[in-house]
Amino acid sequence: MGEKATDMGVDVIPGTPASEVLYSDNGSVVGVATQDFGISKKGEVKEDSFMRGMEILGKQTVFAEGCRGSLTEKLIEKYNLRDKSDPQLYGIGLKEVWEVDESHRLFQPGLVQHTVGWPVDSETYAGSFLYHMKPNFIHVGLVVGLNYKNPYLNPYEEFQQFKTHPQIRKFLEGGQCVSYGARALNSGGYFSIPRLTFPGGLLVGCSAGFMNVLKIKGSHTAIKSGIEAGDALFKKLTDPSYEHDSSTVIDSYQSNMEKSWVWEELHSARNIKGSFKNLYTGTLYGGFYKFFKGKEPFHLRNSGSDSSKTEPARKHKPIQYPKHDRKLTFDLLDNLARSGTNHEHDQPSHLVVKAGK
């Protein structure tokens, strides 16, 4: 997609994070500044590689940072974009890709499997997925809500333990883990969507929290928000009567999103997270949802942040997780090596221990 955009005259600057929002004298957004390059982890300038960041200015700035973007959070606070919405809630999603034999008797390309509950306790929000994908890969993952009560709970270790269940193990045995990753997810849904527009810019995708909690899916809604943003911006900026003003708010984007199928879909799933006081209330509402499809005449709002739900350690006992066998379950450093993540270090190379060796 980047190549297609470049061919159409769009400047694509990969690997360059925006680190600062730029404002005009009247407080409206006029662009972003990119991060300086060549800074050591101690904050010192590297003489051989330092490069000052750039200021990128525009008539409107679209923020598509994903879940809990650093600049997005500053914008939400500055413009009070959550004045009518609930706090955003989050989950951590952990995922491995396994390569299995195509002749594996249980491998079914296209099969999607979901579970809830185990191995977490009944008061912790968690669900899993297994996606069987051609030619011979199984994507397995666990999402844990970050509102868990026990501070000793370790989402990564819960994921490793999840794979040991007989109904999960059987799909992976004989295969090989080839990739690992983790990411934060928005899980507040409909009630946690902030105002989408502000002077000089707007929010799209997971910056706005458009993930469908029921489906654990947000790519389709993010794409639609991008389309609606593009349409609204194009119509406004090409209007012959439009005179550029950095304080312009693209109100049509907000109204068009509220009329779209995205709003309808997220409204239908609005009570999923709120119903989960525990596994039993969540399961009960799940059966209710099967018949009413979100048309129930009541709302289960999100109350308080995730962090406010975590209790003091003195109320809980440490969790003793099983030792990893390095065949089905792995140490975090083993999987870090599979993630493709590289971290700068200042130690001599002969002191660096490679994960998995």
110 and 255 within one domain: no
In this model, does residue 353 exceed pLDDT 50? no
pLDDT for res 348:
46
Quick: pLDDT tens for 222-246: 999 999 999 999 999 999 998 888 8
SS3 31: strand
What is the rounded average pLDDT for all residues in the chain? 91
285 or 78, which is more confident? 78
Same domain, 213 and 194: yes
Q: Decide if pLDDT at 191 tops 50.
A: yes
Alpha helix positions (H), 218-349:
219-237, 251-259, 261-268, 272-275, 279-292, 332-338
Structure tokens at 60: 């409107």
| Tokens encoding 213 | 């909690």
Are residues 124 and 94 part of one domain?
yes
Same domain, 22 and 106: no
Do residue 179 and residue 150 come from a single domain? yes
User: 135: which residues sit within 8 A by CB, 6+ positions away?
Assistant: 102, 109
**Residue-wise pLDDT tens digits, 82-110:** 999 999 999 999 999 999 998 888 999 99
Task: Tell whether 47 and 163 lie within a shared domain.
Answer: no
pLDDT of residue 169: 96
Do the domain assignments include residue 60?
yes
Over the stretch 193-204, which tens digit does the pLDDT of each residue have?
A: 999 999 999 999
CATH number at residue 164: 3.30.9.90
Same domain, 109 and 163: yes
Provide, rounded to the nearest whole percent, the portion of the chain with pLDDT above 70.
Answer: 96
Are residues 227 and 238 both part of a single domain?
Answer: yes
Is 50 exceeded by the pLDDT of residue 10?
Answer: yes
My answer on whether 149 and 225 are in the same domain is: no
Count of structural domains within the chain:
2
Written as one string, the DSSP assignment of 188-210 is: -GGGG----EETTEEE-GGGTT-
pTM: 0.86
Query: What CATH number should be reported for the domain holding residue 62?
Result: 3.50.50.60
In a domain, 49, yes or no: yes
pLDDT greater than 60 at residue 315: yes
pLDDT attached to residue 346: 54
In a domain, 295, yes or no: no
**309 domain residue, yes or no:** no
Tens of pLDDT, residues 240-278: 998 888 899 999 999 999 999 999 999 999 998 889 888
Predicted confidence (pLDDT) at residue 354 exceeds the cutoff of 50: no
Q: Domain check: are 153 and 81 in the same one? A: no
Distance CA 198, CA 83 (A): 13
Tell me, yes or no, whether 210 lies in a domain: yes
Per-residue pLDDT averaged across 40-58, rounded?
A: 84
- Both structure tokens of 235: 């119509």
Give pLDDT, residue 88: 95
Asked whether residue 117 is domain-assigned, the answer is yes
On whether the CB atoms of residues 257 and 225 are closer than 8 A, the answer is yes
Same domain, yes or no: 55 and 105: no
pLDDT score for 200: 96
Considering the domain architecture, whether residues 206 and 63 belong to the same structural domain is answered as: yes
Which CA distances in Å does 128 have to 19, 42, 144, 289? 34, 38, 9, 19
State the pLDDT at residue 349.
Answer: 44
In a domain, 357, yes or no: no
For residue 73, being part of any structural domain is answered with: yes
| Domain of 333, in residue numbers | 90-186+317-338
Residues 306 and 146: their CA atoms lie apart, in Å, by 6
Q: How far apart are CA 273 and CA 291, in angstroms?
A: 18
* Average pLDDT of the segment spanning 328-340: 93
pLDDT of residue 344: 62
Confidence check: pLDDT of 347 > 60: no
